[in-house]
């Protein structure tokens, strides 16, 4: 295996591990008053709907711009993962009152 392919595979694995760690960390630290498993089914349905639409719509729309597959995947990842994390971070930092934070992030 060539050196570049090895480095790429290692960095890809590192990125996946960091992503999973971020999800676990967010799930643990984001619970202020009620655990996530106490939520209604509509919360999970709406959360998944937003995520999948943010993932699939950019993949579909970018086909019309004749972008390569890696470019399309990059845009989909930016729209579905990175922007959500940025919005959550901004919401948590903009408000100091716990009640306002809970309203901002939907808890």
Whether residues 65 and 87 fall in one domain: yes
66 Ramachandran zone, left/alpha/beta (phi>0; psi -120 to 50): left
Which pLDDT tens digit goes with each residue over 17-34?
Answer: 877 887 777 666 665 666
What is the total count of domains within the chain?
2
Judge if 101 and 60 occupy the same domain.
Answer: yes
pLDDT of residue 31: 57
| Angstrom distance (rounded) from CA 13 to CA 95 | 35
Same domain, yes or no, for 25 and 49? no
Judgement on whether residues 25 and 45 belong to the same structural domain of the protein: no
Report which of residues 67 and 40 the model is more confident about: 67
CA distances from 11 to 7, 25, 64 (A): 6, 20, 30
Q: For residues 25 and 74, state if they share a domain.
A: no
- 62 in Cβ contact with 71 (< 8 Å): yes
Q: How many residues does the chain have?
A: 107
Which residues constitute the domain of residue 90? 39-107
Q: Are 80 and 54 in contact (CB under 8 A)?
A: yes
Specify whether 68 is located in the same domain as 26: no
């Amino acid at each position: 295996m060539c050196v570049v392919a090895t480095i790429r595979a290692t960095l890809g694995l590192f990125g996946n591990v960091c992503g999973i760690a971020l999800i676990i960390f967010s799930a643990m630290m984001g619970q202020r008053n009620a655990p996530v498993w106490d939520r209604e089914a509509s919360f999970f349905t709406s959360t998944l709907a937003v995520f999948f639409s943010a993932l699939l719509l950019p993949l579909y729309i970018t086909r019309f711009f004749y972008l390569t597959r890696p470019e399309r995947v990059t845009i989909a990842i930016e729209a579905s993962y990175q922007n959500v994390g940025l919005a959550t971070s901004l919401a948590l930092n903009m408000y100091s009152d716990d009640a306002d934070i809970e309203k901002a992030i939907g808890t």
